[in-house]
Amino acid sequence: MQKNDIITLTIEDMGINGEGIGRYNGMTFFVKDAVVGDVLSARILKIKKTYGYAGIISVLTPSADREKPQCALYRKCGGCQIQPLRYEKQLDLKQKKIFDSLVRIGGFDREEIAGIFAPMVGMDVPYRYRNKAQFPVGTDKNGDPVVGFYAAHSHNIIPVSDCLLGVADNRGIVEAVLAYMKECHVPAYNETTRSGLIRHILIRYGFSTKEIMVCLIINGTKLPFSDSLVSRLALIEGMKSISVNQNRENTNVILGDRTDVIWGQAYITDRIRLWKCGSRIVSDSSDEFSLTDQAVSYHISPQSFYQVNPVQTEKLYSIALDFAGLTGSETVWDLYCGIGTISLFLAGHAREVYGVEIVPQAVADARENARRNGISNASFFCGKAEDILPAFYDRVVQSSVHGEHEDAMLHPDVIVVDPPRKGCDAKCLDTILKMQPQRIVYVSCDPATLARDLKVLCGGGYRLVKGRGVDQFCHTVHVETVVMLSHKKPDSIINVKVEFGEGEGKVPLDNIAKRAAAYKPKERVTYKMIKEYIEAKYGFKVHTAYIAEVKRDLGLPMYDAPNAVEELKQPRKHPTAEKVEAIKDALKHFEVI
């Protein structure tokens, strides 16, 4: 076999990127746009040592699960990788993707996972669901401006004014911007020469309010003839905000740091409704969800993180809230909180909620959203979760005096995380384990990093209790997952009935105090207590790992320590003889030995 050979392939499986997988003469081939069950005539595009890539020439026998894509540009665009696959099978594929990651990366048992996870939450109509569109702007071969999407694995723009995943209003906005550029001779940005002005068109849409925002990202400081653009866009029904964002950097990042409003307001408003769902959902029908009268209103700016599929977001956040198991008395941390979308839902069912987000504008939006909704028990901190949470924990732990409020924050009932695709930072995970919340709710947009982080959390004293996938990104290979972890509890409980008073089999009342004192359990000795004792008596500090090493050498029982999950880049040095004796002295002092 060699490149350009024509082969016949039967597609037996699908990969994590939506490609079909078939075998020919013992070699595995990956085929874009192929569906399980297809029999294809394919051309070999590339051959590696044990696998290769092939392209479809023709579908000899179509799969029973193959459907004609509704978008004529799906193969060129590459945004909808699995649009030819019947939608019900798309949900099966995404469930399998979650399970495969948890088994392969997280080390979980497949049968156990299958018993924990409820069916995927799909959409009744998996089109026109995106509330956000980002159109790159360039020029065609004639030098005329063109707007669309990048072709797969390139920055070649395919002209698209109306994507079937986006709202229908996008088309009129794109056409208005193109007409303005042509009439006023405003040049598109050229990535090669870094010249030209307009780089992207950002459109945001409020599904519940029908409000529209348009932001033009420019390679400059000012948009010429802006009145001409405004006069066109302002006529579009629902238009509330028109702004210009400056990005003069040579980067793939779309938005720059500065945004100036040129018409209307700086935000649009949308609402997310709460749905009631069972803790153990056994059906994949939307009938299992019932709408409540609770809703939270949000201000959304160009830089705000806001889930792109509001229909599914309501289901996703409702499941996350259900998994949190709040009764009204809990303290909750919400990490990577964005504009407070989850935080404000939690605040309606908890005593206090503390959100952490790195983007300053998002934090400002979160605080404003809390004020607008009359929510006073949600506070927000600006910074990286891996900086804010450990710094708070270390400060309170090291403080000799702290109140009930700080103690509740130090040992929260629930921690919710909704990190970006790269998952949680190791420092953040380590601090979560130290804080030992009763429950952890993890919302993930990448099953691989979810599995990686769950392996750490479950290795630090937690167990996976519930899970569910939500199809936020229909016709693509991406999937949102929400899981709940619970702190490990004893395997069994023995109930003992004791009767007090005089007579056979009863405990005399005058002996209660004496026996209680005799059987009173000793105070739990912590590593912190040992470290403080040594520092006070000997004047030096010892690392937790040194204490563990001495306990292990003495044959004392060892327990899973939260910081034991950390993988050290290099072996830690052994304690000196002086520190070993100090540790033994502390263990004797606390009657451990």
Active-site residue set: 445
7, 54 in Cβ contact below 8 A?
yes
Q: Which residues contact 462 (CB under 8 A, 6 or more apart)?
A: 440, 485, 486, 487, 488
Q: What distances in angstroms separate CA 35 from CA 85, 126, 240, 545, one per listed residue?
A: 6, 19, 43, 52
Nearest to 464 by CA among 123, 114, 162: 114
Report the C-alpha gap between 346 and 332 in whole angstroms. Answer: 8
**For 496-565, what is the HEC assignment?**
CCCCECCCCCCECHHHHHHHHHHHCCCCCCCHHHHHHHHHHHHCCCCCHHHHHHHHHHCCCCCCCCHHHH
Nearest partner of 531 among 583, 580, 490, judged by Cα: 583
Longest dimension (CA), the chain: 104
From CA 243, how far away is CA 461, in angstroms rounded?
A: 49
The answer to whether 156 touches 170, Cβ cutoff 8 Å, is: no
Q: Distance between alpha carbon 477 and the CA centroid of its chain, in Å? A: 15
The size of the chain, in residues, is 593
Q: Which of 73, 180, 74 is nearest to 137 (CA)?
A: 180
d(CA 18, CA 478): 10
